[in-house]
């Protein structure tokens, strides 16, 4: 049964896969319940840094009970995690958030779009869609469009197992020069439904694109969080309709999200 819990897990292995981007596998009972698009909160051992760091789940290995996270070193918390070696204890809370609505991919031409450190959750999602997880029905096609700063194309090879990968780089050193929207235009790609995670300007552009094309788009948001479980109301997003829980136009990203239908949120 899916239940949120905090547990002391163990680092299985870790390596730096691009500059300041780390790839960590964690042995944890939470692997059994993880869904694509969900996240875990990771606690530091440094007690001066109290709040857990929300990090998306990149890949799940149910058989061996492991979760993979791929994260960028952005501050003292993630800097601490980056120094962990195999065997190190790591406190995590999970699994959190709603995850991507896999059933929306059934019979559709799908775009999976990831920008920067928004790329990792696309891997488990791509895998789930390719493997028809939950028997939701196969997607008609899967195009994976990923945007990077430069030619350090982390996870691109992993993603290529599950769909055709299209690359954009800010500096033009690989694929289309520009962002994921530029790559779609340059390659003349088309789809029926979009699943995306990335920086806010990218998500805004996707929302606009999807609206113009009359497509469904499901976007994963992030925000500064404290509790991660829906109690503190720190991580809200403005919603088009009055939210069923808050009774104002705010939804909790940690609990009601992080994945929303793009047209439902004011971003």
Binding-site ranges for another protein (CB under 8 A): 3-6, 43, 47-52, 93, 223-237, 245-250, 255
CB of 47 to another protein, least distance (A): 7
Nearer to another protein, 17 or 73 (CB): 73
CB of 196 to another protein, least distance (A): 20
Helices within the chain (DSSP H only): 76-82, 120-130, 156-159, 180-187, 200-213
Nearer to another protein, 51 or 130 (CB): 51
Alpha-carbon distances, residue 75 vs 79, 86, 154, 201, 252 (angstroms)? 6, 21, 20, 22, 24
Smallest gap from residue 15 Cβ to another protein (A): 27
Asked if 141 and 126 count as a contact pair (C-beta separation under 8 A), the reply is: no
Which of 195, 193, 121, 110 lies closest to 159 in space, CA to CA? 121
Q: How many CB atoms lie within 10 A of CB 78?
A: 17
Residue pair 151/183 in contact (Cβ under 8 Å)? The answer is: no
Residue placing its CB nearer to another protein in the complex, 37 or 228: 228
Helix axis angle, 200-213 to 180-187, nearest 10°: 40
- Cβ closest to another protein, residue 11 vs residue 49: 49
3-state secondary structure at position 221: coil
CB of 247 to another protein, least distance (A): 4
> CB-wise, 53 or 68, nearer to another protein?
53
Closest approach, Cβ 99 to another protein, in A, equals 17
- Our separate counts of H helices and E strands in the chain read 5, 17
């Amino acid at each position: 049964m899916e239940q949120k819990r905090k547990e002391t897990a163990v680092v299985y292995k870790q390596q730096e896969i691009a500059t300041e981007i780390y790839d960590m596998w964690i042995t944890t009972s939470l692997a059994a319940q993880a869904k694509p698009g969900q996240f875990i909160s990771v606690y530091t051992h440094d007690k001066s840094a109290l709040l857990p760091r929300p990090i998306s789940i990149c890949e799940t290995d149910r058989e061996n009970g492991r979760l993979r996270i791929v994260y960028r070193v952005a501050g003292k918390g993630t800097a601490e995690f980056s120094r962990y070696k195999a065997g190190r204890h790591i406190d995590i809370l999970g699994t959190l958030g709603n995850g991507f609505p896999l059933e929306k991919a059934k019979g559709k031409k799908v775009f999976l779009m990831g920008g920067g450190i928004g790329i990792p959750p696309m891997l488990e999602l791509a895998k789930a869609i390719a493997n028809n997880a939950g028997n939701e029905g196969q997607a008609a096609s899967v195009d994976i469009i990923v945007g990077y700063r430069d030619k350090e194309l982390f996870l691109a090879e992993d993603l290529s197992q599950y769909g055709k990968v299209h690359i954009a780089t800010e500096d033009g050193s690989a694929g289309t020069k520009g962002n994921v929207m530029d790559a779609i235009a340059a390659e003349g790609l088309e789809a029926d439904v979009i699943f995306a995670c990335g920086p806010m300007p990218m998500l805004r552009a996707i929302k606009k694109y999807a609206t113009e094309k009359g497509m469904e788009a499901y976007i994963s948001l992030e925000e500064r969080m404290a509790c991660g479980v829906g109690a503190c109301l720190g991580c809200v997003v403005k919603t088009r309709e009055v939210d069923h829980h808050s009774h104002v136009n705010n939804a909790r990203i940690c609990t009601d999200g992080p994945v929303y239908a793009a047209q439902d949120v004011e971003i």
